[in-house]
Structure 1
Amino acid sequence: MPLKTPQQYIESLRDGRVTYWDGERIDDITAHPRFQVPIAMTAKDYDYDDPDYRNIRRYQTEDGGSAHRIYQIPHSEKDLADRVEMMGNSAISTLTTGVFMALMSVKDQVGEVNPQYAANIERMYKYARDNDLRAAEVITDPKGDRKRRAHEQDDPDLYVRIVDRNKDGIIVRGAKLHITAASLIHELVVMPTKGMRQDEKDYAVSFSIPVNAKGVKIINRSFAPAELNPFDYPASAHHSMPEGFVVFDDVFVPWDRVFLAGEVPLASKLAQSLGLWERTGGVVEAARLSELFVGLAQLVTEMQGKEGDPMAQASIAELITYAEMIRMGLDYACRHFETTASGMIFPNTLAINAAKYYYAANYHQTVRYLHDLGGGLVLTLPLESDLRNEESGQYIRKYLYTKRTVDVEQRMRVYNLIRDLTADAYGGWQFVVALQAGGGLVAQRTMMNRTYDMNRAKARALKAAGALPKAKAMAAE
C-alpha cells in the first residue's frame, strides 16, 4: 500500500477508539483541542514530500516498496547511522513504533520455543510497515505491592494477564501505565514488564492489538495545557504528547497477533529487547538536548556581557563536557554495533546503557549550570502579552536592555526556552523522563554488569598485581 499522507493519518484516527481526558470521553480526537498539537506533531512525520526530510523518512523495502525508516531493519553501519539521523528528527509518537525493532531482534529466539509466535512477529511487522501504521510500546504494569509477585497480588489484574484461552485466541485483562502517544497510534504492542516464573505463566503475555479493539480504553494526561503561547512556551507549545493509562477490559486477541502466551522463559527476553532500542532513542534525544543547552548557556552569557567571566566559562565547559560525552557514547555504540544471528545489527548494548546512565545520572546537575547562568529571570520574565502592551511593554524593553547588540525580544525568547525546557511544562516532564525512560538507573546498572567483560578485567588486574589466576597457580605447583 502507498505511504499515508498527513491528512490520511488524521482520518485514520476516526476509528471509534475509546479515549478519556480530564473526565471527558472524547469520541473524535481529531476535532478536540487537547489533541491538536500532538496530532500535528505525528502528522508531520507523514509528510514524505518535505524536501528536508524526504530521504530521512523513507527507505526502500526488500520487495521494492517504500516505507517509513522507523521500520528499516539495520544490516549495515550506514543503515544504523541513517536510523539514528531519523530518530533525531522524528516525533516521539513515531519513535515508539521502534517496538517492532525489539520484536524482530528476538524473533529467532522466540521461534526456537514457538515457531508460530515468530511467524506472528514477522507478519505483524510487515502489516504495520506496509500499511504505514504507528505503534506504542506498552510495557509497564501497575505492579501493586512491589514486594509480591504478579500472582500474589490482592487484585490479580495488577499485571496484564490471560484470563481465558480458546481455539480463536486469548482474552486479556489489566492495565499498562506511562504509555506515550497511546491515543495517537494504531497498534498497541504489549510486552511483559519483566521476567516471570512458572507459577506466573498467565502473566507471560505479549501481543499487538488495534487501539480501537473492543475493551481497550485510554485515559490521557499531558504536561501541557491544550493551548500555549509559543512565545512564552517555545517547547511545550509544539511538543506536548499525552501519556496514556491503557486499560484492557477483557480484550480478545486472535492467535495470529499473539507473540507470547505462557512460555515463561521468553518473558524476560521480550522485556529486555525493548530496553535497548528505547535507551538508544533516549541517548539520541540527549545528544540533541545537551547541545541545545550549550547554545542557550553561551547566548545568555553573551547577552549579559559575561562572556569573559571565568565562572561562566567554567559552567559552559561543564555543559560542553556533558554534551560531548553523550555524543561520543552514541557514536561509539553505533560504530561498535552488535549483530543477531539473522544479520540484524543494533547499537552496542554496553555502550548504550553506559551512555544512557551517564545522561540520566548527571541530567539534574547539568541543568543546574544553565539555571545558574540564567539567573532568576528564567522564572520571573514577564509574558509576551505584557511585552505587546504599549504601557507595560515600554518598561520591559527599557529595563531588560543590556547592550546595543542584544534585542530585548530575542533575549526574552532565549530565557523562555530555558524555562520551558528545564523549569516549566516540558521541563517537568523531561526531569522525570531523563531518569525513567527505558527503565531507571537500576536498569542501566544491571545491564552494564551483565554485559561488561568482567573476566578480562579481572585477568588484567591479576596480571598487573603480579598474581597468577588460581588455575595457573595450581598448575605451577
Structure 2
Amino acid sequence: MIRTGEEYRDSIRDGREVWMGNERVRDVTTHRAFKPIVDVRAHLYDMAHDSGTRDVMTYHDPDSGETNCIANRLPRTQQDWWDKRAATDLVMDHARGVVTRVGDETIGEMWSLYDGQDVLNEVDPRFAENIRNHVHRAVTADPFHVSANTDPKGDRSRAPQDQDPDMLLHIVRETDNGIVVRGAKYETAAAYSNQAFTKPTIANWGNDEMSDYAVGFILDMGSPGLKFICRDGFAGRVPEADYPLSNRVDEVESMVVFDDVEIPWENVLFYRHTRAATYIRSTLHRYSAFAYVQRTLRFADLMIGAALWNAKQTGLDKQQAVQEKLATLATYRETISAHLTASIVMAEPSPGGLLMPNQSLLYTGRVAALTPLAEMMHLARELCGGQICITPDAAAFDNPATAGWLDKFYSINENWVADDRRKLLAMARDLLNSDYAGHRLAFQLFAQAPPFAHLAAVYHNFDYAGPLDLVRDVADLSDKVLGQKGATV
C-alpha cells in the first residue's frame, strides 16, 4: 500500500555506505546535499495521503481493495495515461522545479520487461515470473524505484573481456541463493532510493549467445557489498535565496560500486542471455520516454515564464522582436505538448497486452524536445538579458551599507520593487546560467540517452510504408523496383 514520507525516510536509514568527497554520509535524510531532495520525495509520498492531492496521486484497486500510486499502475487504457500525466504535473507543481527521479520515469522500464516475458522464458521461465512479481510489488509496496544503466565503460574500442573485466558489470559466480556480480553503475538518486532496475549498458557485451555481461536484476539498495560514491551536491553550497533550484531540486548522482554483491534468484530478471539484453536495450524507453519528455515540457514552461516576466518588468514585451522570440519558445513548448498528447490519443497495444504511447510520435517528440534544448535555453537567456549574470547576491540587498542603492536601481515602479526583481533574476540565473543549469543540460545525455539513440529509435519505429506506397503510386513504379506493395525499410 502507499507509504508516508516518514516511512520512506525510515526505509533509507539502513546503514548503506555513502561517500561524498572524503566524508562518509551517515544519514542521507539529514545531510545538507541530500536532505532537500529527500524532503521533496517524502512530500510526494505524503501527497498520496493529503485530501487535496490524493485523488490525483492515487487510484483504488478493486481487486485488492488497496489504494496505490497512480504512477506505478500498469497502463491499459488511455485514461491511465491521462491520469499519469496529471499526477506528474502535480508532482512538479509541488516540487517547484523539475525533478527527474520520482519513480514514474523508471517503472516504465519494468513494463518493457513485462512485455518481453516470452524472451525471458527462453532463458528460464522463472525469470518471467520474477518480472511479474516485481511489477506487482512496485504497485503494492510503493518503493522508490530508480534505474541503473551506465557503466564506467573503459576502453570502448575493446571488448570488456580484453581489459579490466570490472569496467562493465558482470557475473562472477553463481551460488545456491543467486548470482554474484561485480563492477559499477552510475545512478541518479541511488543513495536515497530503495531499489533499482539494473541492466546492461549500451556497450559490446559480446556476440556470443551467452555472456557474463548480459545481466539484469532488481537491486536492493541495502545489499551488502554496495558502495555509493557521490558527486558533490549543489544544495547547501550557495545561499538558497540566490540559487533556489540548486538548493531545492538537485538530484545527486552516485557511482554505485558492486563489490561482489549477491543478487537473490527471485530478483534476477535475465542473465547471460544476449538476446534478452538486446531486447531490453531496444525497448527500454518504450514507456519511460513519456515521463522524460513531459519533464522537458515543464522545463519549457519555466523558460517561458522566466523570459516573459523579465520582459514584462521592463516593458519590453511590447516590442515585436521580443514577441517573436517568445513565440519561438511557445512553439517549442507546444510542439512537445502536441507529441505527448498525440502519443496518448494514438496509443497502441504493446506485445504484453498493455497500452503504450504511440512509439513513432513519442520518439519524434523526444527529438523535438531535446535537439533544440540548448538553443531554447540560450534564447530564454537572451530574453532575460545580462542581468542574470551580474546581479548582486541577496546578502547585498540586505546589507544596510548597500541595500539603499540596490533598492533604488532595482526598483522599476510600484509594481516591480527591488526584492521581487531580485528573486526573479535569481530564479532565472539558476534555471539558465548556473552550475546547476549546465548540469541539467548535460544530464539529458545521460538520463535520456545520446542523440544518436533518439534518432535510432525514430528510425526503427516510424512507419515507412505510407510514404513508400505513396511515391510508388505517384511515380508508377513497378513491383520489380520496390517489391510488394507496403514494403518498408
Q: TM-score range by the shorter chain?
A: over 0.9
C-alpha contact 1:161 1:172 (8 A) present in aligned 2:
yes
**Map of 1:30-429 to 2, 5 A cutoff?**
30-47=29-46, 48-61=48-61, 62-90=63-91, 91-95=99-103, 96-98=105-107, 99-152=109-162, 154-177=163-186, 179-194=187-202, 196=205, 197-198=207-208, 201-226=211-236, 228-429=238-439
CA distance in 2, matches of 1:374, 1:176: 38
- Indicate the RMSD between aligned Cα atoms, in angstroms: 2.1
Q: Point out where structure 1 has 5 or more consecutive residues left out of the alignment.
A: none
CA shift digits 1:280-315 (9 cap, x unpaired): 222101111112222222211111111221211111
C-alpha contact 2:36 2:235 (8 A) present in aligned 1:
no
Residue in 2 aligned with 1:13? Answer: 12
C-alpha contact 1:260 1:266 (8 A) present in aligned 2:
yes
SS at match of 2:285: helix
CA distance in 2, matches of 1:436, 1:360: 12
SS at match of 2:173: strand
C-alpha contact 2:209 2:273 (8 A) present in aligned 1:
no
Worse-matched range after superposition: 51-60 or 35-44: 51-60
CA distance in 2, matches of 1:65, 1:163: 41
CA distance in 1, matches of 2:296, 2:395: 32
The verdict on how the C-alpha distance between 1:227 and 1:53 changes in structure 2, with shifts beyond 3 A counting, is farther
Q: How far apart are 1:132 and its partner, in Å?
A: 2.1
CA distance in 2, matches of 1:472, 1:224: 57
Give the share of equivalent positions with the same residue, in percent: 25
CA distance in 1, matches of 2:18, 2:150: 19
Residue in 2 aligned with 1:442? Answer: 452
Counterpart AA for 1:363: L
Which contiguous aligned blocks of 4+ residues in structure 1 show a shift greater than 6 angstroms?
A: 472-475
SS at match of 1:146: coil
Q: What's the TM-score, normalizing by structure 2? A: 0.91
Worse-matched range after superposition: 220-229 or 323-332: 220-229
The verdict on how the C-alpha distance between 1:222 and 1:67 changes in structure 2, with shifts beyond 3 A counting, is farther
C-alpha contact 1:136 1:185 (8 A) present in aligned 2:
yes
SS at match of 2:101: helix
C-alpha contact 1:278 1:438 (8 A) present in aligned 2:
no
Q: What's the TM-score, normalizing by structure 1? A: 0.93
The verdict on how the C-alpha distance between 1:392 and 1:252 changes in structure 2, with shifts beyond 3 A counting, is same
CA distance in 2, matches of 1:248, 1:272: 25
Worse-matched range after superposition: 350-359 or 324-333: 350-359
CA distance in 2, matches of 1:472, 1:128: 48
Q: How far apart are 1:213 and its partner, in Å?
A: 0.6
1:22 and 2:31 are equivalent in the alignment: no
Q: How far apart are 1:402 and its partner, in Å?
A: 2.6
Worse-matched range after superposition: 310-319 or 338-347: 338-347
CA distance in 2, matches of 1:12, 1:28: 11
C-alpha contact 1:105 1:273 (8 A) present in aligned 2:
no
The verdict on how the C-alpha distance between 1:56 and 1:273 changes in structure 2, with shifts beyond 3 A counting, is farther
Residues paired across the two proteins, number: 472
Worse-matched range after superposition: 12-21 or 55-64: 55-64
Q: Point out where structure 2 has 5 or more consecutive residues left out of the alignment.
A: 92-98
The verdict on how the C-alpha distance between 1:227 and 1:36 changes in structure 2, with shifts beyond 3 A counting, is farther
